[in-house]
Structure 1
């Protein structure tokens, strides 16, 4: 299954405003790629350009070597969830998906299949106007899956989902990537990207900041921590603090900054404290905040 997305010098201007400026990156199949950036970074505009919903001012974007508009019966090639609220509230979930299936020459049997996959079989006959945001998100994901496409795009798919729904989406995305599909997910939830994404494309004010693996990007942040698990957390925390480390504890697990893993291990040995885990970690959220600090369009208090 091959569905590589190629973005080359992509630019989009609206009058005097540049929403996307010279973006170049590749989204590969067989992995989940997170699409990150502050508010106003141009993420939604980029997704619309990929889908041919907006025409670029300059540059190109292709899916499997061709502009998306050149693919007949688009849902068989790319499935997308851009706005869960962009549906006719008077239709039932079944009618909405059936209309999409007919327009794209997709067997109607797929409607029941995808409704079951997203957990909406029991709501198939209900009007969408009565759905919660979480149910609309599930319906949008069902529409994206309808054509069994090799490429899937999702814009903030976790909005409105409960914890069970978030876990389900995480497993769904990783399962789709394991099947060889291209999964491109825009999200502002760093914790979910840490659990879900293999690679990242990070933008700010319409320009590319990074396109690399998640560990590579996280390691670019200046702040690193070490996770420590020990049966004697209080004793070790006191010793680490005395050595100049900063220690945070949650459920018996220590997160240590200011000391490297080797120094922590040596200190534990001297103190006679056993260790069950000693893992250096780079924070995706900290790296994101550091590397996008000068690309934020709006900040708290109105500062620009």
Structure 2
């Protein structure tokens, strides 16, 4: 389990992480989301002891990461797949990590096979594609068979097969009872992978809830209606503050009211409905609706 309590990081006058508290529990995949500059990478670096907090604490199973001897046995992490010695082979890189953490060298071949790099084990890392480096970084995270794993943007550079493989890997690790913490900007993948979300903006906590509950915060959720009296229904709904977009003479897209409220209003005004359907909520839309005010960089928009 990962637990941050009033975690704060300042760089001079800049507050990168601001009184942040959350818990990442085992047995599920927890997504870590936020706009660029939100403080996600800084938070992960503090978790691993690479940056010292200005205030608060962050622990792994109740102990700061530095307090765990042979760290790879306790936490496996991928922060930057490109930050690696290009002159070494994949096997040599992992073997060095294994020796420094007193892990059996047999684990090197096991994890290379697991991530699909067995045939490239003796090749120099400098010739690897970004996707191959991501796989190698995941192999390093798995090397100590740790109970806690964290990944920062692990899908960058992966092809569709690789993305599918990573999705299945994370779910399997969580099903084994491990703590899996994944920072990513790929909303479509998070919607298929994560069980729970922690969302931050400008270093502060915005949401800490299940994927389903967070997606339900989508303020742009649309309801599709079909009625032979669309014009009359539109007048009723706009009077209630809704927005109505006409698709055909009988079909409209409604925002601003729930399907239940639309149905009640249609009934009250004796308007027949042939269809009343809530469109699927979107994780991306929910994310945008709750983080726009916390974004440091908005393309083409005045702040």
Does 1:71 find its partner at 2:68?
A: yes
Query: Which residue does the alignment assign to 2:149?
Result: 152
Query: Which residue does the alignment assign to 2:207?
Result: 210
Is the deviation greater in 165-174 or in 237-246?
237-246
Secondary structure of the 1:10 match is strand
Does 1:172 find its partner at 2:169?
A: yes
Larger radius of gyration: 2
For residues 115 and 208 of structure 2, the distance between their equivalents in structure 1, rounded to whole angstroms, comes to 30
How does 1:93-112 map onto structure 2 within 5 Å? 93-112=90-109
Count of residue pairs the alignment pairs up:
280
For residues 66 and 255 of structure 1, the distance between their equivalents in structure 2, rounded to whole angstroms, comes to 56
Q: Flag the 1:183–1:256 CA change in 2: closer, same or farther, 3 A.
A: farther
For residues 252 and 30 of structure 2, the distance between their equivalents in structure 1, rounded to whole angstroms, comes to 27
Unaligned segments of structure 1, at least 5 residues: 228-235, 249-253, 270-277
For residues 176 and 90 of structure 1, the distance between their equivalents in structure 2, rounded to whole angstroms, comes to 31
Does 1:42 find its partner at 2:39?
A: yes
Q: CA deviation at 1:223?
A: 2.0
TM-score, normalised relative to structure 1:
0.85
Secondary structure of the 2:96 match is helix
Q: Flag the 1:126–1:241 CA change in 2: closer, same or farther, 3 A.
A: farther
For residues 39 and 287 of structure 2, the distance between their equivalents in structure 1, rounded to whole angstroms, comes to 16
Q: Flag the 1:194–1:239 CA change in 2: closer, same or farther, 3 A.
A: farther
How does 1:210-229 map onto structure 2 within 5 Å? 210-225=207-222
Secondary structure of the 1:282 match is coil
Secondary structure of the 2:83 match is coil
Q: CA deviation at 1:220?
A: 1.6
Does 1:181 find its partner at 2:178?
A: yes
For residues 229 and 135 of structure 2, the distance between their equivalents in structure 1, rounded to whole angstroms, comes to 46
Query: Which residue does the alignment assign to 1:296?
Result: 295
Q: CA deviation at 1:280?
A: 5.2
Q: CA deviation at 1:204?
A: 0.4
Query: Which residue does the alignment assign to 1:82?
Result: 79
RMSD over aligned Cα atoms: 2.6
Does 1:131 find its partner at 2:138?
A: no
For residues 53 and 286 of structure 2, the distance between their equivalents in structure 1, rounded to whole angstroms, comes to 30
For residues 138 and 240 of structure 1, the distance between their equivalents in structure 2, rounded to whole angstroms, comes to 57
For residues 78 and 59 of structure 1, the distance between their equivalents in structure 2, rounded to whole angstroms, comes to 20
Give a deviation string over 1:8-39, Cα, whole Å, max 9, x none.
00000111111100000000000000000000
Query: Which residue does the alignment assign to 2:88?
Result: 91
Unaligned segments of structure 2, at least 5 residues: 235-243, 267-271
TM-score, normalised relative to structure 2:
0.85
For residues 246 and 120 of structure 1, the distance between their equivalents in structure 2, rounded to whole angstroms, comes to 51
Q: CA deviation at 1:241?
A: 7.7
Which of the numbers 248, 251, 274 marks the counterpart of 1:267?
274
Q: Flag the 1:9–1:122 CA change in 2: closer, same or farther, 3 A.
A: same
For residues 122 and 255 of structure 1, the distance between their equivalents in structure 2, rounded to whole angstroms, comes to 56
Which of the numbers 3, 23, 26 marks the counterpart of 1:26?
23
Does 1:284 find its partner at 2:291?
A: no
Contact (CA 8 Å) 1:6, 1:25: kept in 2 or not? yes
Give a deviation string over 1:132-165, Cα, whole Å, max 9, x none.
0000000000000000000000000000001111
